[in-house]
Structure 1
Amino acid sequence: MIRVAVLCLLLPFAAAAQTDAGAEARSALSQLEAASAKLEQAGGARDRVRALTETIQAFERGLGAVREGLRQVAINEAQLARKLQAKDGEVAQFLGVLQGIGSTPDPTALLHPDGPTGTARAGMLLAELTPALDRRADALRRDLQEVQTLRALQVDAAERLQKGLTEVQSARTALNQAMANRTDLPRRFTADPVRTGILIASTETLDGFASGLAEIAVDQISTTPESMEAQIGDLPLPAQGLILRRAGEADAAGIKRPGIILATRPRAIVTTPAAATIRYAGPLLDFGNVMMLEPRANSLIVLAGLDVVYGEAGQVIARGTPVGMMGGPQAENSEGISPSREGAGTERSETLYIEIRQDNIPQDPADWFRTDKDG
């Protein structure tokens, strides 16, 4: 009886966390399925660029959610497996007690040394403990089933993730072609390549280049400055990512910049946060490919560190229009879905520098963007 009482103190494993992780992973898979459906619809869309842009963004959200779901599932499955392994000895005793109760004993085995009174008390104790043992058995059964479910979910999610990686790459390729074929964008000015080359050659800083942008424009059409007061502070970040460094924070080399650095996944799509005129698109200094957007007179949004840029100086683009893509591996595969890799932050290997300038004076991007809603 003492042995049975000790075993009844075995606490049931908490399955709620595992169930939540499974639900999150399934929800993420639904996002990925929705993105796949968007890709099919994008092929026949009238505005193919917009459709493909929304499709890629949906894939990026879905892939990120699936990666995070897989990571959480793997963590919970490992925790549950360790708990079960640690309880191996108690579980063996527990099963032995259940088998003992379920077998047909010798009638004399039920006699208590203290006589009829002791036997009656032992019987009453056993009657009270049996439901508790049943509950422990049910809890153990649920935990073991949850491990099997989580493992199966990991296999299914990994397969769908690989398919999603292939589909998003197809969408990116299609977007590259659609942007190359686009000829319907209005123009505010025409860039003079000679003046542009001279400005780049004579520029040593971003400040100097920004101040000379007006010199490279010819045949400029004056427009009514747009009001952005309602948008300032609520602009979406140009790409899905995490704020790695804010304005004025020193990097590893001790260099402080007035802009923010956004860590993104490889090949992340970059879009304009507001309707704007492209003032410059191309390589600049040590910033890699740079996109300079003018959302209103005397204001500039500088996006630096892109691998590919879309559009030409002088074109007017709508909010949400793709302006480029980040660098990184062209082909993504199952090596990129390791739960340990996702949790370590190495999946966000690309960095986008974002700077805001008003009257050629840097502004804090945190005052312009919704930086508390990183993707």
Structure 2
Amino acid sequence: MAGLLLIGVLAFSGSVHAQPAGETDSDTVTADMEQRLGRSVGELDRILQERGVSEERAAELAREIETIRTDRAAITTALIAAAKTERKLGLDIIALENRLEALRQSTDDIRASLWERRALLAEVLAALQRMGLNPPPAILVKPDDALSSVRSAILLGAVVPEMRTETARLVSDLEELGQLTATIADERARLETARGQQAEEQARLTVLVEEKRALEQQTAQTLAAEYERLTALAAQAEDLQSLIMSLEADIEAARAAAERARIEAERAEREARQARLDAEREARESEERIARERLEAARQAEEAARERLEASRQRAEELAARQTRIAPLTPFAQLTGQLERPVAGRTITAFGDDDGLGSIARGDTMQTSSNAIVTAPADGWVLYAGPFRAYGNLLILDAGNGYHMVLAGMDRIEVSKGQFVAGGEPVGIMGSIRLAGVTAAATENDSPTLYVEFRKDGRPVDPARWWERAGTGRT
């Protein structure tokens, strides 16, 4: 395109050099301008060629981004699925622990009942001893031996009718005690299996988070470098285009002045040279028209190239923006009764309860397990991610329309400020102990706790409206 512009300029140059000897100064000025214009056009042509190459690179980068976007979406899906699995395992572990506690309580109750009725059982066993059977066993140390002895007493008819009913109750309690002992052993084995599976899911989530972070960094660096190159080339092209337009105006003004001087000098010779001047004027006008058309074509081509470059830049920006969602899918206010809790566990302090420090709780405090995965309750932008006083690591998510979500008490945060996260996506990991700044409420075994607070226009609101209806998680 710049080559056409240069041809038009050279055509003008040829017509100027054909002027009479009396116009040498004007010709020299115009020739100097044309040389400057030629150099500028050559430089513009070089920049436009580089921009053409950069356009090809931008298109190639767009294709790479599309591929990366697909891979990244798969990683995000895997992260959410793994987080759900880890959450279910955490809930299973809590249920198993509660089941074991209930079984242990039932065992203690039966042992206490047997101890209270030890006199009756001793009387039955003494009767058996008098009949010549084995010595009476310890009923609390070896309940199976006691059960066998009592059954033998019933079969032998050694128990008097008045004691037969109480003896039958003893048999039932001893049988239940044996069953509870076996059930406790089974439940402990299931608990150990679930804990092993939870540890595997936590390790898998850690690997997926690191892979996603590395992918984001690589894509952002490549895209930023290409944008910087495109911006620099565009700035150079615009500066040269302004210079070329200025030189064209100067050349046109110089030609007009030379034309007026030439007409004035030739007035005395007009009759003798009229025919030649008419022919020269027609030829010159034809050349000027062709040159103007070529200049206009060059300008139009340059404008088209600029439009193509802008379109490529916009496509690259659109593709980069589509790597992840950049806005919540559903307004936060419409998600009532649909949000999953960020951790698997139970709520030990709810919104509006006494926080243990003489104030009213402005959010929910959830007890969870060591190294539990923390997920985003809903879509949002990361406003803050880092340590805050005695609360451990603090995360603030902007859910849009004046809503914010605050999560405190994590040992590690896996997202950064300005990042957009999807609901259910892992954002952090709990530690192994409770942080004093999170809650004053006592917890079993000093388990870690996560503080969750929802805000609307800067004021705390009750999170209970947004949690899933399947269960309150409250104990």
Structure-2-length-normalised TM-score: 0.47
1:363 to 461, 469, 472: 461
SS of residue in 2 equivalent to 1:274: coil
1:54 to 84, 87, 103: 84
Q: Distance in 1 between matches of 2:429 and 2:101?
A: 26
The one-letter amino acid of 2:415's match is G
Deviation at 1:356, TM superposition (A): 1.4
The one-letter amino acid of 1:320's match is G
SS of residue in 2 equivalent to 1:354: strand
Q: Following superposition of structure 1 onto structure 2, how do residues 125-204 of structure 1 map, counting pairs within 5 Å?
A: 136-182=166-212
Q: Distance in 1 between matches of 2:88 and 2:414?
A: 20
Matched, 1:309 2:408: no
CA displacement 1:29-57 (0-9 Å, x = unmatched): xxxxxxxxxxxxxxxx9943233212211
CA contact (8 A) 2:327 2:380 kept: no
The one-letter amino acid of 1:143's match is D
Structure 2 unaligned runs (5+)? 1-74, 134-156, 221-320, 434-441
Q: Following superposition of structure 1 onto structure 2, how do residues 22-37 of structure 1 map, counting pairs within 5 Å?
A: none
Q: 1:58 to 1:149 in 2, by over 3 A?
A: same
Q: Distance in 2 between matches of 1:373 and 1:146?
A: 33
Q: 1:249 to 1:99 in 2, by over 3 A?
A: closer
Q: Following superposition of structure 1 onto structure 2, how do residues 274-313 of structure 1 map, counting pairs within 5 Å?
A: 274-313=378-417
Map of 1:23 onto structure 2: none
The one-letter amino acid of 1:328's match is S
Q: 1:144 to 1:53 in 2, by over 3 A?
A: same
CA contact (8 A) 1:292 1:302 kept: yes
Q: Following superposition of structure 1 onto structure 2, how do residues 113-124 of structure 1 map, counting pairs within 5 Å?
A: none
Map of 2:424 onto structure 1: 320
Q: Distance in 2 between matches of 1:132 and 1:157?
A: 40
Q: Distance in 2 between matches of 1:50 and 1:226?
A: 18
Q: Distance in 2 between matches of 1:246 and 1:50?
A: 26
Structure-1-length-normalised TM-score: 0.58
Q: Following superposition of structure 1 onto structure 2, how do residues 341-356 of structure 1 map, counting pairs within 5 Å?
A: 345-347=443-445, 349-356=447-454
Deviation at 1:143, TM superposition (A): 1.8
CA displacement 1:116-135 (0-9 Å, x = unmatched): xxxxxxxxxxx9x9888666
Q: 1:348 to 1:319 in 2, by over 3 A?
A: farther
CA contact (8 A) 1:225 1:297 kept: no
Map of 1:373 onto structure 2: 472
Q: 1:225 to 1:167 in 2, by over 3 A?
A: closer
Deviation at 1:79, TM superposition (A): 0.9
CA contact (8 A) 1:226 1:296 kept: no
Map of 2:39 onto structure 1: none
Deviation at 1:83, TM superposition (A): 0.9
Deviation at 1:300, TM superposition (A): 0.8
The one-letter amino acid of 2:182's match is A
SS of residue in 2 equivalent to 1:281: strand
Aligned-residue RMSD, C-alpha:
3.9
Deviation at 1:70, TM superposition (A): 0.8
SS of residue in 2 equivalent to 1:236: coil
Map of 2:367 onto structure 1: 263
Deviation at 1:140, TM superposition (A): 2.6
Q: Distance in 2 between matches of 1:80 and 1:223?
A: 59
Matched, 1:63 2:162: no
Higher helix share: 2
SS of residue in 2 equivalent to 1:182: helix
Q: Distance in 2 between matches of 1:224 and 1:151?
A: 52
Q: 1:358 to 1:185 in 2, by over 3 A?
A: farther
Q: Distance in 2 between matches of 1:249 and 1:313?
A: 32
CA contact (8 A) 1:263 1:348 kept: no
SS of residue in 2 equivalent to 1:278: strand
Q: Following superposition of structure 1 onto structure 2, how do residues 57-136 of structure 1 map, counting pairs within 5 Å?
A: 57-94=87-124, 136=166
The one-letter amino acid of 2:371's match is R
Deviation at 1:326, TM superposition (A): 1.6
Identity %: 27
SS of residue in 1 equivalent to 2:333: coil
Q: Distance in 2 between matches of 1:146 and 1:281?
A: 54
2:339 to 228, 232, 235: 235
Greater mean alpha carbon deviation, residues 149-158 or residues 45-54: 45-54
CA contact (8 A) 2:336 2:467 kept: yes
Q: Distance in 1 between matches of 2:354 and 2:472?
A: 23
CA displacement 1:289-337 (0-9 Å, x = unmatched): 11222223321111111112222333333322222222116xxxxxxxx
Deviation at 1:64, TM superposition (A): 0.8
Higher strand share: 1
Structure 1 unaligned runs (5+)? 1-44, 104-126, 191-218, 330-343
Q: For this pair of structures, how many residues does the alignment match?
A: 263
Q: 1:223 to 1:143 in 2, by over 3 A?
A: closer
CA contact (8 A) 1:226 1:295 kept: no
Q: Distance in 2 between matches of 1:270 and 1:345?
A: 19
CA contact (8 A) 1:264 1:348 kept: no
CA contact (8 A) 2:373 2:429 kept: yes
SS of residue in 1 equivalent to 2:196: helix
CA contact (8 A) 2:328 2:379 kept: no
CA contact (8 A) 2:410 2:431 kept: yes
Q: Following superposition of structure 1 onto structure 2, how do residues 11-30 of structure 1 map, counting pairs within 5 Å?
A: none
Q: Distance in 1 between matches of 2:368 and 2:328?
A: 35
The one-letter amino acid of 1:288's match is G
CA contact (8 A) 1:239 1:270 kept: yes
